[in-house]
Structures are given as C-alpha cells and as structure tokens.
Amino acid sequence: MKTIKLLLPCFLVTAALLSCNKKKLTEVVEVPLPAAEEKVTLGQPDDVKADEGTFAMAKLPYAYDALAPNLDALTMEIHYSKHYLTYTNNLNRLIAGTEQEKLPIEELIAKLDMSNADLRNNAGGYYNHTLFFEGMAPKAGGAPKDTLAVAINRDFGSFDNFKTAFSDAASKQFGSGWAWLITDRAGKLQVISTPNQDNPLMPQMPIKGTPILGLDVWEHAYYLNFRYKRKNYIDNFFNAINWTKVNERYEDAMRRKY
C-alpha cells in the first residue's frame, strides 16, 4: 500500500507537469496547504523569567485569558511575555553596576537624564507596564468606591466626566503612548497623556504627578484583536480596571504627599 501511496502523487505531479508544458505559463497552479494546522498554545505568566537583575517583573495576578473578551489572551501573552520582559531586561542591563541600581524605580525615573533615550525608554517601559498589568483584574471594571470615588467626583464632577476625559486622552494621543490618571503635585486628580514610554514622574514633563491608572495605547496593546479601532480597546479596558488596586495607589499617593 505504501508504494501505491507514494507512486500515485508522483504520477499526478508528473502528469501535471506534462500538461503544464502544453498550457500557457500564466495558469495558476494551486499549492496545497499543510495538512496540520499550526496550533497556538498559550504559555503561563509564571513561566516568564527575566534575566538576573535589580528589577523584577510584577507577577501577573491572573491568567492570560482571564480578561477576555475585554482583552484577548494572545495579546496579553505577547504583551507580558515579550514586551514587558524586554523592557525589564533592558533596564536591568542598562543600570548594571551603576548607582541607579540602589534606587527605587520611582526615584530612578524622577532623576533620569532625559537625553539618555535608551534608559528613558526602558525605565519608562518597565514602570508603565508594571502599573498597567497590576491595574487590571478579571471580573472587574465598573466604577471606583472608597476615597477615590469621592476624589473623582470632587475633581471631575462625576465618574462619567472622568471616563470621557480619560477616553479622550487615550484616543487623541497621537501615535504610541499612554493615558494616565494621576495625582498632581497639589494632590488633585488629573487626566493626561504622554508619548512613547514617558510618564509623569519624569523630569521636564508639562504636568507632573504620580500615576495611579495607566492605559497603554501602543498598537501592540490592541492591534491583534481590535485592529485600528483604538476606541473599542479603550471601552473594553474600562471593563477590566481593578479599582481596588487603583484606590490603594491613590491612598498611598495621598499618604506620601503625592
């Protein structure tokens, strides 16, 4: 049987080649697809290990598929296990053997030499992604409670006003960047956006403050699932915000005087 199985395709190919010779060269020859489909297997966040270095990746407190359908599993996996990992490794490599290794990340960023693009991008990338991944949770979203709810009403008038301001900042950030909810240097909540991996802790920022909620609007954060529809991604992010965590950050910022 094996011989027949092998001979038959050989015969067909030969016949096709012979018949091709007689036909016009412009004829399209159909190429068969591989029989086995390529299977995408999701990894586990715990399997992701940064190289040895000062700063560790935040442990993802949920599975890659736990935020679906708001944020899809494959985007989450690539974002966490590739992008975030790379920023972490680059940051650690850039500061190895320097005084910056002794600083908390917030202080390292606040004291950045902004002309050092490599360190600016990777320190920002590390900090921003840590905040982003920890700011989401399964079965989350809705509106904040606690002290943050009071502060949002005080500074934006209502939660809906805040949501509109934040969505606008995220939509209108041209190109790659981030939208933020921050406590500014007077303790007031503000919504801002920054380009690239900048954040409002950095020197020379037009509005400085402590980020308590961050949304990544780089295309890698949404393009697989939402394609060019950044607005849909922003709407879905609101269903995944871990307001308990954001409230903790708010109270912490208030305690430390922003």
Token pair, residue 164, equals: 């509109």
Residue number, 64 or 156, with CB nearest to Mn ion? 64
- Residue (151 or 169) nearer to Mn ion, CB: 169
Residue type, 54: T
Closest C-alpha among 53, 49, 51, 48 to residue 92? 53
When CB distances to Mn ion are compared, the closest residue is: 216
Q: Which is nearer to Mn ion, 127 or 218 (CB)?
A: 218
In whole angstroms, the minimum distance from the beta carbon of 49 to Mn ion comes to: 19
Task: Give me the least distance between CB of 220 and Mn ion, in Å please.
Answer: 6
Which residues of the shown chain bind Mn ion in the complex (CB under 5 A)? 83, 216, 218, 221
CB of 164 to Mn ion, least distance (A): 24
Kindly tell me which of 215 and 221 has the beta carbon lying closer to Mn ion.
Answer: 221
- Provide the sign of the torsion angle of the four alpha carbons 68, 150, 198, 135, taken in this order: negative
Structure tokens at 248: 């903790």
Q: Is the Cβ of residue 127 or residue 156 nearer to Mn ion in the bound state?
A: 127
DSSP helix/strand/coil, 93: helix
Using the minimum distance from each CB to Mn ion, give the nearer residue, 71 or 189.
Answer: 71
Closest CA to 102 of 160, 54, 63: 54
Q: Where are the alpha helices (DSSP H) in the chain?
A: 2-22, 73-78, 85-95, 105-110, 117-134, 146-156, 159-172, 223-226, 230-237, 243-255
> In terms of CB distance, is 223 or 238 closer to Mn ion?
223
Q: 180 - beta bridge partners?
A: 192, 214
For residue 64, the minimal CB distance to Mn ion (Å) is 15
Residue 231: CB minimum distance to Mn ion, A: 18
Q: How far is the CB of 74 from Mn ion (least distance, A)?
A: 14
Q: Nearest approach, Cβ of 138 to Mn ion (angstroms)?
A: 20
Q: What DSSP string runs through 106-170?
A: HHHHHT--TT-HHHHHHHHHHHHHHHHHHTB-TT--S---HHHHHHHHHHHSSHHHHHHHHHHHH
Looking at residue 219, its amino acid is E
